[in-house]
Amino acid sequence: MGVSWVATAAVSPELSRRPVAEQIEREFSGVVAWYGEVTGAWWAMVRVRGDARLVEALTPRELRDAIVNARGWPWPR
């Protein structure tokens, strides 16, 4: 007896945050975004002048600012 992974996933906070990350990825081509369950922060991998940069933010709105200003965004926080 156990709970199926489908039923468990349906109530997972991670799944409820995934649509937000997907929207950010659609807004910014080439960006990979996610919410870190352990860190409690939003993250994105952003291309900056041919290189990659990891940015961290507390909210999706702040993450959008971090992506736009990735070159000068303070990391890590």
pLDDT digits (tens, 9 = 90+) for 25-69: 999 999 999 999 999 999 999 998 888 999 999 999 999 999 999
Q: Does 10 fall in a domain?
A: yes
Domain contains 22: yes
pTM for this entry: 0.75
What sign results for the dihedral spanned by CA atoms 65, 67, 68, 70?
A: positive
Token reading at 9: 């996933």
50 belongs to a structural domain: yes
In this structure, is residue 77 part of a structural domain? no
In a domain, 15, yes or no: yes
For residue 59, the one-letter residue type is T
41 touches 64 (CB < 8 A): no
pLDDT exceeds cutoff 70 at 1: no
Domain range holding 62?
A: 5-72
Q: Name the band, by pLDDT with cuts 50, 70 and 90, for residue 71.
A: confident
The domain total for the chain is 1
> What is the reported pLDDT for 16?
74
56 falls within a domain? yes
